[in-house]
Amino acid sequence: MEMTHWLPEHSAALRDLRARGMSYSEIADTINKRFHTAYTRYAALSRGQRMGLGGLERPEPSLSNRGNRPESTVLMRPRIELAHEIRREPKAGAVRWPKPFSGEAETPQLRCVEIMPRHLSLVELERGDCRYPYGGDRDDEPITFCGHPRRPGSSYCTPHFHLSRDPEASAAPVLSTAWLRVVGVT
């Protein structure tokens, strides 16, 4: 993306042309002809927004640069409602805030395994050690790891491997006999 630097005279011309009610496309064309530059419509729009001149909505012209045209040659454009024009003030009571929770929440029973972890830090872990994490629930609590020998093909020891798997999902076979019949293997 090429960075453009607007000279003060270019910015002054942009402000003047915008006050006359010109579109940013017309402004870019006029500035390019006058100063031999290559600003795009988007560059003029962005600079105008940074200068606080507004966005795409067209201001009422303070000076008529259109001349006296007959009514038949003036093209009437349909008015497009912009997003900021559609917004309306909310009616009283229309905004519904969530009710504050003041009751007691039940803490779910966590599944656990009957294993005494070694509580190794990340630096102390060896290549074949279980990486099941413990702790870290509070800001000042360190995170330690199980550290028992890993199950082949897993990052966890056998008890933690089974703990971390959904027993219903892992019990279902990946390929059922019905699927194999559809494919035509059996």
Q: What is the pLDDT along the chain (186 residues), one digit of tens a residue?
A: 455 688 999 999 999 998 888 889 999 999 999 999 999 999 999 898 888 887 766 555 555 555 555 555 555 555 555 555 555 565 665 666 667 767 776 766 666 777 888 999 989 999 999 999 988 877 888 999 999 999 998 999 988 888 887 665 555 555 566 666 666 665
pTM, two decimal places: 0.34
Cα angle at 185 between 184 and 186, to 5 degrees?
95
At 66 the pLDDT is: 54
List the domain boundaries for the chain: 8-50, 115-166
Helices (H) and strands (E) in the chain, counts: 7, 2
